[in-house]
Amino acid sequence: MTFGGAQRIAAAYGVALIAPDTSPRIKRGASHWCYGPGASWYVDATEPRWADNYQMYSYITKELPTLLNAQLPIAKDKYSIMGHSMGGHGALMLALKNPELYHSVSALAPASSTIRSSYGAKALRMYLGDDVAAWQAWDATELMLSKGPVSKYNILIDLGADDEFWHDDVQLHPEAFEAACNQVGQHLTFRAQDGYDHSWDFAATFMEDHIRHHVEALHSASS
């Protein structure tokens, strides 16, 4: 968000930005940028190696809001959620599991299905074990099929048309999420942006669009 100048944008619109880390910075054996200290996938881990500390779902949805409400002068019932890449999947998943908590959701280049992503599936196996059926509760596409539509959400997704994780090292699977939205009747705005890849430059370019998306939803919730 710093690279994208999000602070300036947020100040202009009068909103607070909260940016929790991707995971606990505690090593538990093997790690990689797509799992362990590099990426929690925002689940509550059940495998013994990870379960003590890797409870990011509970942290984001319970502990963090309690801390924010107690310590910051913000509206206590006005939350929206967004993210990029692994965090984009986290935003979609968290919003679908907690529609009472968030007024809107958006994602920049999200990994749209952990089960279909080799990186996501590897992380889920590490955190949750080998029962693939248990993974579905943490997969945004599967959650859309089981819990959608969420009528108050107009989901916004931007993705670089040249994203290497869409076309080459296939990890994002936006088509699966889009198909799930169409199947259940979920309102989705999906934009493939020409000339952009998965980089911070892409995220920075469309940051203001996404903040504005949430500002409009939060204002609508207040009216």
Known catalytic residues are 85, 163, 198
In residues, how long is the chain? 223
Strands (E), 136-198: 155-160, 188-193
Q: How far apart are CA 48 and CA 115, in angstroms?
A: 21
Which residues have a Cβ under 8 Å from the Cβ of 207 and sit 6 or more positions away?
Answer: 1, 4, 5, 6, 9, 108
Return the C-alpha torsion angle 181, 182, 187, 192, nearest 10.
80
Q: How many CA atoms does the CB half-sphere of 84 hold within 13 Å?
A: 21
Rounded Cα distance between 105 and 153, Å, is 7
Given a contact cutoff of 8 angstroms between Cβ atoms, the answer to whether 88 and 141 are in contact is no
CA dihedral sign, ordered 133, 139, 143, 144: negative
Q: Which residue has the tokens 């998306």?
A: 213
**How far is it, in rounded angstroms, from Cα 94 to Cα 143?**
10
Report how far residue 156's alpha carbon sits from residue 171's, in angstroms, rounded to the nearest whole number: 19
